[in-house]
Amino acid sequence: PSTMKEPRQDPGTAADVAASCDRPRNSHRVWIAGAAGSLALLIALCAETAFVVDDAFITFRYARSWAEWGTPAFNSFELAPGGHPVEGFSAPLWTALLAAMHAAGLDLAAVVGPLQLVLSAATLVLVARFAAVRLGLGTAGVIIAPLALATAAPFVAWSTGGMETSLFTLLVTALLLAALREDGSDVRHGVILGMLGTGVMVVRAEGLLWVIVLPLLVWPLARRRRCLVIASALIAVTAAAQLAWRHSVYGEWVPNTVVAKTGGGVDTLARGARQTATWALVTLTPIVAVIAAVPALHHTGPAARRAARAALLLSLAFAAFNVAVGGDWMPFFRFMAPAAPALALAIAIGFDALPRAAALGAGAVLLVAQPMALFG
């Protein structure tokens, strides 16, 4: 009977309906345009700063030997009777990827730059889409998110260089954004988190640290125990397999690069603190993120506030790691490059909470100021 039906809600005026229909399409166009413009800027900056650091050629040699000899070793005599191969690389997944490319007949020194740029472009698109689609930021936030990332000096510099930094940055960013999602089934979400966590763990020697730390920074995950159990199981199985492989090939449980480079002590902390402070002053991104933190943490959107909190905490964790390990000798703060997407997201959320004119003005200043660090 008609009396049993629920009352029909008023859909609103024709203008309201039209606005609600146009909003997703406008947002879609805006974030794609913002990502495209930022990507063009990233390519232009990378063309000016492109380099290949000498340590990359160590990885190239291990990748070549892995493809040609079946075992990643630096010298052939290490594989002879009585020899003992040494794990002199710190990025197994990156080395394996380069080994596959060498096996396909590609020149690693020539192809590594375009490969890194593609990985960085994927990171930029992930951040731009998340800001628009998942967080629902306004025009200013959607434009600033990829722009702040495309002009961040460590992110730009290490979109080249030949090292695994661009792949590590992509995987850490994807893991953070996946952890912030609250929709979908626990099984599917757990599998996705497990796969991304596995990638983070095997791409760098300290990857397992970030797999453990990052979920602790995203509090909604604590309520999804089944999701965490599935992800943890996948990561644990992969970790066990990686340890078994390392011990069978090199006779060690811990990577040789970690044992050789681990120092500790006051001198290490002081060196790391100096470099972290230099990163904050020279690149400007952390300073802008601190300024944007207050409006970001008071954003009207609950999802935006959660994302800002997690992004800022992850950035602080990377800064603490950089201090603890004494920084890195390579240029443009390599260990801080993976924090750039989180910082860009936090900046975009903070600027989005401001009036549009102020946000776009601040974004324009950011566009001009940040790249200056790349050119002295």
pLDDT in tens, 215-262: 888 866 666 778 888 999 999 999 999 999 998 888 888 877 776 666
Residues 157-194: tens digit of each pLDDT: 999 999 999 999 999 999 999 999 877 778 888 899 99
pLDDT at 118: 97
What share of the chain has pLDDT > 70, as a percent? 90
**Beta-bridge mates of residue 52:** 161
Q: Where are the alpha helices (DSSP H) in the chain?
A: 14-49, 55-69, 92-103, 108-129, 139-150, 153-157, 165-180, 186-203, 207-216, 225-250, 256-261, 266-283, 285-297, 302-324, 340-352, 356-369
Q: How far is CA 236 from CA 202, 231, 275, in A?
A: 12, 9, 34
pLDDT at 228: 85
- Whole-number average pLDDT of the chain: 88
What share of the chain has pLDDT > 90, as a percent? 64
The string over 204-225, giving b where at least 16 C-beta atoms fall within 10 Å of a residue's C-beta and e elsewhere, is: bbbbbebbeebbebbeebeebe
Give 11's pLDDT tier (boundaries 50, 70, 90). very low
pLDDT at 16: 40
- Contact call for residues 279 and 286 (beta carbons, < 8 A): yes
